[in-house]
Amino acid sequence: MSEETKIITEMIVGASQKAREETSNEPEPELTQPLQWPVKAMIGPGLEGAIACESKIGYVNGSKGWLIYRGYDIFDLCAYSTFEEVSYLLLNGDLPTASELDNFKQKLVSYGFLNQTLRLLMSSPVESMNTMSAIRLGTLLMRRTITPLDLEDGNPFRADFINCDEDSIPMETAPKGEVHAIYEFKRPSDDMDNNEACIHLIAGLATITAAVARIHQGRMPIEPDPDLGHAANLLYMMTGRKPTPVEERIMDIALILHADHGMNASTFAAMVVASTLSDIYFSVGSGIAALNGPLHGGANEQVVRTLMEIGGPENVPAWVKETLSSKGKVMGFGHRVYKAYDPRARVLSVLAKFLAETNESIKPLFDTAQSLEKEVVSQLGTKKNIFPNVDFFSGIVYSCLGIAPEMFTPIFAVSRVSGWTARILEYLENNRIFRPRAMYTGEFNKQYVPFDQREGKK
């Protein structure tokens, strides 16, 4: 461990101590007991308060501001662990032994080579696509072509569609091409089950995200380096440069921090799709779609754009006044579950400070962020329990690592795929399709009016 990475560990331990001093970490009893279905819950709009399932994967103590993965405190995992270990932990229930970790890392490296999937992806206009839609497409292209559904009687063999000259075939004609192109979507090994597909997806999202970043820079994607860890490889494949130990460590911590977070919108979206017994690749694709929104993972990109728009710490009070008086939201603040300081923001805040101190171009953004944090917390902290969330400082950290804002949310997906897949696997053990109801507040018994008798009024 280099001197600088030791400093990073110390900073995280310091952030953890501060959190301990400011909050206590008793579990909330009503949310840590085995369920007896049906459960009684007070449900608010947006399913606030609803309990969807039991889980042993992770726990968010919203009133105290603590986050636990499989029993381990997020601060400890950030200080001492790696994203590979944490992904293994989320998927398997405990931290890996040396040989388990070695095996897991080898799989991540080998599944990270997705040359054929990337070639397919590049046949789409990736350079002009939104980066989240590009990584979603790439994820779906990783999916094996042949599933039992695809092979049902009456369904044409999908591979027949792939390798023919589509331009010469009328749209309404099912083309019959050669079948050898089936490859790329195919499972890397014939015995790949859902557990293996999770590792395939964790590895693949990093490669695809890095490739999308490269294509957006007008460059060709590059393959992973088998000698690098997952975080280092992500940076290497995006920038073409092997990261320094500090850059690698910071990216590793950022990936750990974003890996899981209860029944957040993207996890729930992925689980809803999985609960239909759809393919896990489709499920992860749905998670990516949900994460894209500015109320969820998309906020990190918006934060940096907001900081640029504010233009400096001196403009913060006026900007906040105007935003709040027009009922606007300040991106990177507030959370459905946290009513205290988000522990992930505590870690990212110290990392952002550490990096911004030596980065002249980002320092003004960080200064603006600190001033914005102070102003928003003083106005809304006690009044509405609004504090910075995970998205507030992550963009500054990524900017210091030379990453463009359009890649911030894809990087979130590179990490959250561990949580999505772990929770899908867990839910499928006792699967029941998600199917809530809506309260119908429309009309009944309306007389059908034939088209030619309807007048003006809608």
Residues at the contact surface with ligand ACO, assessed by CB under 6 A: 46, 264, 295-297, 299, 329-336, 384, 386, 389-391
Shortest distance in whole angstroms from residue 101 CB to ligand ACO: 28
**Tokens 């001492």 appear where?**
80
425: its two tokens: 């696997």
Containing 67, the helix (H) or strand (E) segment is: strand 66-69
Backbone angles phi, psi at 388, to 5 degrees: -60, 145
Of 200, 258, 261, 296, which residue is the catalytic one? 296
Q: Is 391 in the active site?
A: yes
Shortest distance in whole angstroms from residue 27 CB to ligand ACO: 21
419: its two tokens: 């949580």
Contact between 396 and 357 under an 8 Å Cβ cutoff? The reply is: no
Shortest distance in whole angstroms from residue 62 CB to ligand ACO: 10
Task: Using alpha carbons, list the distances in angstroms from residue 16 to 59, 302, 367, 422.
Answer: 17, 27, 23, 26
Alpha-helical (H) ranges within 114-241 are: 115-121, 131-142, 194-216, 230-239
Judged by beta carbon, residue 220 or residue 308, the one nearer ligand ACO is 308
Residue 314, Cβ density class (10 Å: 0-12 exposed, 13-18 middle, ≥19 buried): exposed
Residue 439 CB neighbours (<10 A)? 4
The residues with which 60 forms a beta bridge, in sequence order, are 67
Task: Using alpha carbons, list the distances in angstroms from residue 160 to 45, 174, 241.
Answer: 47, 9, 40
Shortest distance in whole angstroms from residue 437 CB to ligand ACO: 21
Q: Is 191 in the active site?
A: no
Contact between 338 and 389 under an 8 Å Cβ cutoff? The reply is: yes
Judged by beta carbon, residue 244 or residue 379, the one nearer ligand ACO is 379
Contact between 143 and 185 under an 8 Å Cβ cutoff? The reply is: yes
Tell me the residue type at 321. K
What lies within 8 Å, CB to CB, of 432 at 6+ separation is 275
The DSSP 8-state label assigned to residue 379 in this structure reads I
Distance (Å, rounded) from C-alpha 47 to C-alpha 168? 50
Q: Is 261 in the active site?
A: no
Contact between 316 and 375 under an 8 Å Cβ cutoff? The reply is: yes
**Tokens 């301990």 appear where?**
20
Look at residue 278 and give its three-state secondary structure.
coil
Residue 431, Cβ density class (10 Å: 0-12 exposed, 13-18 middle, ≥19 buried): middle
Distance (Å, rounded) from C-alpha 26 to C-alpha 203? 35
Shortest distance in whole angstroms from residue 219 CB to ligand ACO: 29
Backbone angles phi, psi at 261, to 5 degrees: -160, 65
Q: Which residues are catalytic?
A: 296, 335, 391
